[in-house]
Structure 1
Amino acid sequence: MTASEMPHGGKIAILGAGAIGQLFYHQLSAHGLAPVLMTREASAGSQALEFTDLNGETIKRQAQLIDKSALASCELLIVCVKAYQVEEALQPLLGALSADTHILLLHNGLGPHLAIAPHLAGRGLSLGTTSQGALKLGRWQIKQTGAGLTQLGHGLGPRLTESLRQALLEAIDDSEWCEPILPMLWQKLAINIAINPLTAINGCRNGALIEDQYRPTILALIQEVLAVANAEGIALEQDRLTERVYRVIQLTASNYSSMHQDIHHGRQTEIEAITGYLLSRAAVRGIDTPANEAIYRQLKSLEQGG
């Protein structure tokens, strides 16, 4: 059976072949959806991929790589690039998409959806977040490092078709459709704000943050998120959010956060879409956020080699 003969075959494209992009490629492929991949090189061809799941089983698949010209038949474009790459990666492709192509953003943080919204020309947009973990072992080899909840929901414009929505939920491990999605994204934002910069600044695994010395900072960061979220019309509960932050710390204790890895490897981080987004909304609302401002300055200094 060719890709075009499978349900939704060739109609789902994944933009970005990093660890998460490849993880979703394998999960969708395992359910017969036959997605295609588009990389930063945007060249067509075939590529062997290798995936090691949580049970240690290694699976090899042959992926179809596409260029811009193949996007015209795409029904769903899943964008799995870093938050700071979304606008630059997506804008040049919009003209190649059909008027009915739906776009799903999956990245850490918030903000890119606001930047691309004016350019969608009536296309539908969904937003999502995942707590699944994956590690690149090589350019085309990944290992799943953790299970986790994936939450998807409607952003704006025409809604994702019911058939595609059900296909995603059946294929993606532990996934759910959330209406509204923004409270879920703010919860994930709070978790990222409380964990990622601190692990990067202190050069530690997530589990180290369980120590008492970090608790006052974590609580202060969460308190500021609650204040800004409330001003934005997003109701979050302090006790529940704090409990969830510490649960994620425990569940991912042996992991290095993506921000820690970015700093370690001298790469740009997603701080602008995480703490930076919070600070921008706080400024609009006239809310003081001293704890997050201090963390932001420390992280930016590290990012710039300071």
Structure 2
Amino acid sequence: MEIKKVSMIGLGALGILFGHHLSKRMPKEDLRIVADRKRIEKYETEGVYCNDERCNFNYVAPEENCEPADLLIFTVKNSGLKDAIKAVKNHVGENTIIISALNGISSEAIIGETYGMDKLLYCVAQGMDAVKVGNKLTYENMGMLCIGDQKPGIISEKVKRVAAFFEKQNVPYEIEKDMYKKLWSKFMLNVGVNQTVAVYGSNYGDIQREGPAREMMIAAMREVITLAEKEGIMLTEDDITYWLHVLSKLSPEGKPSMAQDVEAKRLSEVDLFAGTVLELGKKHGIPTPVNKELYERIKEIESQY
């Protein structure tokens, strides 16, 4: 069954990046950007731009009746996930495949509570260096989407359908056979790079070279390795090396989403990152001093808004 109808919700960096890419390759009516009417009015009035090109999006309000999507993609912030789940109700049908490009390790389970885990594939977005300022996104590296099944070691028909769609639309992707480990590995990266760059008020260049920021980032990631083992996930120093290689390819002027949140004086996802690490540390009786420092410093920054 070929994927033809696609719905997306969330026009942050990932939503704009992949939405713009797909909009240039698909019939306009087949790609639906779900947003409330107030947001739609703003998007249509002010425009949404990707690398200085105005996006030609087909906006659909949550209450509009429509044909269910073959593929539904969540690209909202974690804080907006519960509202997004309600908003896409009309887009979920019997054969809809759902992927979530959200940070963290819990969004799939939260979506699955409403729509069923049988509809979900695991997904991780990596390797993009997009920077969003207001309604304008710029990037040098598009990165890719890693997809896979919930059970390790298999490649289901759902994965094959999504892969065929990505192939047709020229979306960079990889199929992973152990996606739950991949989710934890990406979580480890976010805990390190997102929070460190935010605290230092810098960019990828600062953690690409030797120095205190890079050291703090790696130390925060190592705390996740220790906790992951207690949760039955085997991460190693090789996983850190892998991500350092990925980071080395990004534009030095680029920066992760949390650093962009801090610059814009928006509340960040620190509770999703260091907050989760601190909770797991408490659960397993393992000290996590680096993430404790990152948590406290980011909360202090946010208290000044």
Instruction: Confirm whether residue 175 of structure 1 aligns to residue 189 of structure 2.
Output: no
Match of 1:132 in 2: 128
1:99 positional shift: 3.6
Cα shift readout 1:30-58 (whole Å, capped 9, x = no counterpart): 44364111124477799575433xxxxx6
Match of 1:18 in 2: 12
> C-alpha distance in 2, partners of 1:43/1:249?
33
> C-alpha distance in 1, partners of 2:93/2:145?
27
The size of the alignment, in residue pairs, is 291
**Letter of the structure 1 residue corresponding to residue 130 of structure 2:** A
> C-alpha distance in 2, partners of 1:223/1:168?
33
1:119 positional shift: 2.1
**CA separation of 1:40/1:263 partners in 2, compared to 1, >3 Å: closer, same or farther?**
farther
Q: How does 1:205-284 map to 2 (within 5 A)?
A: 205-209=203-207, 210-238=209-237, 240-252=238-250, 253-284=252-283
Structure 2 contact 147–173 (Cα < 8 Å) conserved: yes
Structure 2 contact 191–273 (Cα < 8 Å) conserved: yes
3-state SS of paired residue (1:109) = coil
Structure 2 alignment gaps of length 5 or more: none
Structure 2 contact 278–292 (Cα < 8 Å) conserved: yes
**CA separation of 1:300/1:113 partners in 2, compared to 1, >3 Å: closer, same or farther?**
farther
Match of 2:161 in 1: 163
> C-alpha distance in 2, partners of 1:174/1:95?
28
Structure 1 contact 132–150 (Cα < 8 Å) conserved: no
RMSD of aligned residue pairs (Cα, Å): 3.0
1:22 positional shift: 1.9
> C-alpha distance in 2, partners of 1:103/1:188?
19
Structure 1 contact 15–80 (Cα < 8 Å) conserved: yes
Structure 1 contact 91–116 (Cα < 8 Å) conserved: no
Q: How does 1:62-211 map to 2 (within 5 A)?
A: 62-68=56-62, 69-94=64-89, 97-121=92-116, 123-130=118-125, 131-136=127-132, 139=135, 141-155=136-150, 160=158, 162-171=160-169, 173-209=171-207, 210-211=209-210
TM-score of the aligned structures, taking structure 2 as reference length: 0.82
Structure 2 contact 132–260 (Cα < 8 Å) conserved: no
Structure 1 contact 38–67 (Cα < 8 Å) conserved: yes
> C-alpha distance in 1, partners of 2:91/2:143?
33
- Tell which deviates more after alignment, 269-278 or 35-44: 35-44
**CA separation of 1:61/1:194 partners in 2, compared to 1, >3 Å: closer, same or farther?**
closer
**CA separation of 1:137/1:216 partners in 2, compared to 1, >3 Å: closer, same or farther?**
closer
Structure 1 contact 84–273 (Cα < 8 Å) conserved: no
3-state SS of paired residue (2:239) = helix
TM-score of the aligned structures, taking structure 1 as reference length: 0.82
1:82 positional shift: 0.9
Cα shift readout 1:111-150 (whole Å, capped 9, x = no counterpart): 22233332224651122222223334653x5333323232
- Tell which deviates more after alignment, 186-195 or 281-290: 281-290
3-state SS of paired residue (1:211) = coil
Structure 1 contact 18–81 (Cα < 8 Å) conserved: yes
- Tell which deviates more after alignment, 161-170 or 290-299: 161-170
> C-alpha distance in 2, partners of 1:127/1:271?
22
3-state SS of paired residue (1:271) = coil
Match of 1:3 in 2: none
**CA separation of 1:248/1:32 partners in 2, compared to 1, >3 Å: closer, same or farther?**
same
Cα shift readout 1:245-276 (whole Å, capped 9, x = no counterpart): 43344333221221111011110112222222
Structure 1 contact 15–81 (Cα < 8 Å) conserved: yes
> C-alpha distance in 1, partners of 2:241/2:150?
27
Structure 2 contact 131–254 (Cα < 8 Å) conserved: no
**Letter of the structure 2 residue corresponding to residue 35 of structure 1:** L
> C-alpha distance in 2, partners of 1:277/1:257?
19
**CA separation of 1:96/1:76 partners in 2, compared to 1, >3 Å: closer, same or farther?**
closer
Which stretches of structure 1, 4 residues or longer, exceed 4 Å deviation after superposition?
A: 42-50, 58-61
Structure 1 alignment gaps of length 5 or more: 1-6, 53-57
**CA separation of 1:44/1:71 partners in 2, compared to 1, >3 Å: closer, same or farther?**
farther
- Tell which deviates more after alignment, 261-270 or 128-137: 128-137
**CA separation of 1:171/1:184 partners in 2, compared to 1, >3 Å: closer, same or farther?**
farther
3-state SS of paired residue (1:17) = coil
3-state SS of paired residue (1:146) = coil
Match of 1:55 in 2: none
